[in-house]
Amino acid sequence: EADIYQTPRYLVIGTGKKITLECSQTMGHDKMYWYQQDPGMELHLIHYSYGVNSTEKGDLSSESTVSRIRTEHFPLTLESARPSHTSQYLCASSEAAGGYQETQYFGPGTRLLVL
């Protein structure tokens, strides 16, 4: 079944550690996104991509990096985790349909706790 997957689902880590959050989609979508969201609160865009070898910065991009080497894979790396990074991270994807925005499909999220 076509879906979008995130691993790990939960992560507890110490300050200063480097972490990579994985996101994969089997929907064949070109566009992918990373958001940070505290429970029930606003979605903040971290990074996005229009396709392979394309990466763009969102509002919260300064402390993280992404790569898009394959269409289906869009990992997010925090170089040095801090307690302020404690949050939920949501990955999403959508088609890039001739300039028209399409529905975004979200993954289940990764809940990160930095001690």
Partner 1 sequence: GENVEQHPSTLSVQEGDSAVIKCTYSDSASNYFPWYKQELGKRPQLIIDIRSNVGEKKDQRIAVTLNKTAKHFSLHITETQPEDSAVYFCARTDGLTFGKGTHLIIQP
Binding site for partner 1 (CB under 8 A): 31, 33, 39-43, 45, 48, 58, 90, 94, 100-109
Shortest spacing between CB 4 and partner 1, in angstroms: 9
Residue placing its CB nearer to partner 1 in the complex, 59 or 70: 59
- Give me the least distance between CB of 38 and partner 1, in Å please: 11
Pull the structure tokens for residue 41.
Answer: 């609160």
Report how far residue 93's alpha carbon sits from residue 29's, in angstroms, rounded to the nearest whole number: 6
Tell me if residue 102 falls in helix, strand or coil: coil
Nearest-5° angle of CA 104, CA 109, CA 115?
145
Least distance to partner 1, CB of residue 17, Å: 26
Nearer to partner 1, 17 or 61 (CB): 61
How many Cα neighbours within 13 Å face the side chain of 36?
18
| Between 49 and 85, CB nearer to partner 1 | 49
